[in-house]
Amino acid sequence: MTPRPPQSGTSAEAENELVLSFLAVRRALGVLGLALPVALMLVALLTDEPMRPSISEFYFGQGRDLFVGILCAIGVFLWAYVGYPPAKAGEWPTDRLVSRVAAVAAIGVALVPTMDKSAAGGPFQCVTVIQCWLGADLSRILHYGAAAVFFAMLAAFCLMLFRRGAPGPQSADKIARNRIYAICGWVILGAMAAIAVYGMIYAGRDAAGQAAMDRSRAVFILESIGVFAFGISWLVKGESLKPLQRMLEPDTAPPGDAGP
């Protein structure tokens, strides 16, 4: 590896601040991901708020501010996340592209709510200006579409972007992190697939099937698993889960660059 030229004190300090800024954004995203389902469950446990069938449906109760606030904060941090520039010409997708798409999707989920199940059977009542303008059907399509895109981008970070690294042998630390990213990415995709299959089996059958699906809280549980995987992956990227990394390090690994 070509040695780096010596840095002045000012440039070294600037680089350290930039690294710390990157780590802070990654850790913030990880904490927000872990906090979202936990905060909503606490709302249901500590107030008279019922446990909702999905994370999105907490919009229609006392958890609204937490739901919208945390998702919008995730969107802002994702939009601000620059990540690494392409290592070679034509490398796709880039960190910036995926983070920007995920940011827009996260904010879309927050600002275009789903339908209130408690009002099922009655006339459509919009609760936001955007929802009133879009109407019931388009609001539902955009909400679930944004949620699908959001989770897909999170999986792309785990399975593609986070696992990139410098050419050559990888260090034990990088191997361990890549293993965690792979697990988190497949957990996110698995949760999405399980929600889709569960919905087709139950919700697609009849009203009784939809009611049974809602009572099981399966969608909330699967969404929470996916969001937890998102949070863990970003905390690992932010170098906050070193003990977990050490558990997954191989016994021996060739010396090499740890990679991004």
Q: pLDDT tens-digit profile of 157-179?
A: 999 999 987 677 888 999 999 99
129 confidence band (pLDDT: 50, 70, 90):
confident
User: What is the number of structural domains in the chain?
Assistant: 1
Query: DSSP of 150-166, one letter per residue?
Result: HHHHHHHIIIIITT---
What is the pLDDT, as a whole number, of residue 120?
Answer: 54
The interaxial angle of helices 136-156 and 218-237, nearest 10 deg, is 40
What is the pLDDT, as a whole number, of residue 119?
Answer: 56
- Please, what is the average pLDDT of the chain? 84
Q: pLDDT tens-digit profile of 194-239?
A: 999 887 877 666 677 777 777 888 999 999 999 999 999 999 999 9
Identify whether the C-beta of residue 251 lies closer than 8 Å to the C-beta of residue 172: no
The answer to whether residue 1 is domain-embedded is: no
Q: Which residue pairs, CB below 8 angstroms and at least 24 apart, start in 95-98? A: 95/161, 98/153, 98/156, 98/157, 98/161
The answer to whether residue 260 is domain-embedded is: no
Distance separating alpha carbons of residues 164 and 158, to the nearest angstrom: 10
What is the pLDDT, as a whole number, of residue 3?
Answer: 46
Calculate mean pLDDT across residues 87-101.
87
The answer to whether residue 45 is domain-embedded is: yes
The answer to whether residue 258 is domain-embedded is: no
Q: pLDDT tens-digit profile of 29-77?
A: 999 999 999 999 999 999 988 899 999 999 988 999 999 999 999 999 9
Host domain of residue 66: 19-247
